[in-house]
Amino acid sequence: MTRHVLILGGTTEARALAATLAADRALRVTSSLAGRVAEPRLPAGEVRIGGFGGPDALRCWLADHAVDALVDATHPFAATISAHAARAAAAAGVPLLAVRRPGWVAAPGDRWHPADSLAGAAALLPGLGRRIFLTTGRTGLEAFAATTGLWFLIRSVDAPRPPLPEPSHVLLARGPFTVEGEAELLRRHRVDVLVTKDSGGPATAAKLTAAREAGVPVVVVRRPPVPGGVPVVATPDEAAAWLRAAPARLDP
Ligand code: NAP
């Protein structure tokens, strides 16, 4: 009998998992995207796009579409959908796994300053520099809007919505990025502080190498925790192995 797997996606890992599972004829795979990006990279298999409408609606979706297993392969900072997935899976009796790529680890020469939130990152900036490279994505930028005396280079895939910190320059770009390219950006814009989420993974890690080589301090926003009780793996291969051995759907 075919088992239906729902992957909550929007990440490289989610696409890789969908590609791996697409070849498995015992599985029907649906990937779910939030619909934030104008031209998303589509995964293999079936795709649905847009929010579910909260945890209860997600629970109904799982039941209505006879989902046998749920994989939360969303970005480490997409905490709302991860919390909804945990609630909905528990209520629907559907086994849930989270895929989280490992966070970045500081190397010798790095000047990292941890922050617990974007607001915490903004509070650190005046003590570190004046020309700030913000790579935290297009949402949450209001946390930096009240700062004064700083200039921002804001990079995101799609245009960020106001309120933005001012003065600023917006650069629309999608990774992966190279160390040479990132070093050139730091030089051209005379960046003296980099701000990043601890997203992990290779696609956007080049900025950290470039910052280390240029002696630029980096404010690293820590990840929110994975909801309690949800098993976590680091790679799509581990997720595929879990799915093949996944327990059957439980009675809610
Ligand atoms: P979020 O704050 O955790 O979620 C906000 C709402 O967006 C959720 O309540 C849900 O709406 C909807 N949503 C999020 N992911 C969804 C998915 N895969 N499928 C269907 N609905 C989804 O999420 P976010 O931080 O805005 O990120 C949105 C998406 O972009 C995520 O899927 C994530 O993997 C991807 N992404 C995020 C980041 C980041 O830095 N946060 C970076 C790269 C990619 P309903 O409540 O209506 O169901």
Measured from the CB, is residue 186 less than 6 Å from ligand 1?
Answer: no
Contact 63/92 with Cβ under 8 angstroms? yes
Closest ligand 1 atom, CA of 81?
3
What CATH number should be reported for the domain holding residue 193?
3.40.50.720
In a domain, 251, yes or no: no
Q: Which of 37, 67, 72, 75 to mutate to test the pocket of ligand 1 (most atoms within 8 A of CB)?
A: 75
Question: What is residue 37's predicted lDDT score, i.e. its pLDDT?
Answer: 85
Measured from the CB, is residue 75 less than 6 Å from ligand 1?
Answer: yes
Measured from the CB, is residue 14 less than 6 Å from ligand 1?
Answer: no
In a domain, 107, yes or no: no
Closest ligand 1 atom, CA of 32?
19
72 CA → ligand 1 middle, Å: 11
Question: What is residue 148's predicted lDDT score, i.e. its pLDDT?
Answer: 95
Indicate which residue's Cα is closest to atom 24 of ligand 1.
Answer: 78
Give the integer Cα–Cα distance in Å for 246 and 133: 43
Q: Which amino acid is at 242?
A: W
Kindly give the confidence (pLDDT) of every residue in the chain, 252 residues in length, as a single tens digit, with 9 standing for 90 and above. Answer: 789 999 999 999 999 999 999 989 999 999 999 998 888 999 999 999 999 999 999 999 999 999 999 999 999 999 999 999 999 999 999 999 999 999 999 999 999 999 999 999 999 999 999 999 999 999 999 999 999 999 999 999 999 989 999 999 999 999 999 999 999 999 999 999 999 999 999 989 999 999 999 999 999 999 999 999 999 999 999 999 999 887 666 555
Q: Same structural domain for residues 145 and 71?
A: no
Task: Specify the residue for token string 């300053």.
Answer: 113
Contact 211/194 with Cβ under 8 angstroms? yes
Q: Same structural domain for residues 41 and 19?
A: yes
In order of 18, 24, 118, 158, 166, the CA distances from 142 in angstroms are: 34, 44, 9, 16, 11
Structure tokens at 48: 């649905």
In a domain, 11, yes or no: yes
In a domain, 12, yes or no: yes
Measured from the CB, is residue 95 less than 6 Å from ligand 1?
Answer: no
Question: What is residue 249's predicted lDDT score, i.e. its pLDDT?
Answer: 63
Q: Same structural domain for residues 192 and 231?
A: no
Helix boundaries (H) for the chain: 12-22, 55-64, 79-92, 118-124, 179-188, 206-214, 236-244
In a domain, 17, yes or no: yes
Q: Which amino acid is at 134?
A: L
Q: Same structural domain for residues 96 and 188?
A: no
In a domain, 190, yes or no: yes
Q: Same structural domain for residues 143 and 215?
A: yes
Q: Is 43 helix (H, G, I), strand (E, B) or coil?
A: coil
Measured from the CB, is residue 74 less than 6 Å from ligand 1?
Answer: yes
Q: How many structural domains compose the chain? A: 2
Measured from the CB, is residue 53 less than 6 Å from ligand 1?
Answer: yes
Measured from the CB, is residue 126 less than 6 Å from ligand 1?
Answer: no
CB under 8 A, 24+ apart: contacts of 180-185? 181/206, 182/206, 182/207, 182/209, 182/210, 182/211, 183/210, 183/213, 183/214, 185/133, 185/153, 185/210
In a domain, 250, yes or no: no
In a domain, 9, yes or no: yes
Question: What is residue 132's predicted lDDT score, i.e. its pLDDT?
Answer: 98
Contact 14/99 with Cβ under 8 angstroms? yes
Q: Same structural domain for residues 25 and 80?
A: yes
Domain containing 212 equals 112-221
Q: Which amino acid is at 206?
A: A
Question: What is residue 247's predicted lDDT score, i.e. its pLDDT?
Answer: 65
Question: What is residue 47's predicted lDDT score, i.e. its pLDDT?
Answer: 97
Q: Same structural domain for residues 123 and 179?
A: yes
- Global pTM? 0.92
Question: What is residue 38's predicted lDDT score, i.e. its pLDDT?
Answer: 83
Q: Same structural domain for residues 176 and 198?
A: yes
Give the integer Cα–Cα distance in Å for 45 and 241: 18
Indicate which residue's Cα is closest to atom 40 of ligand 1.
Answer: 77
Question: What is residue 252's predicted lDDT score, i.e. its pLDDT?
Answer: 53
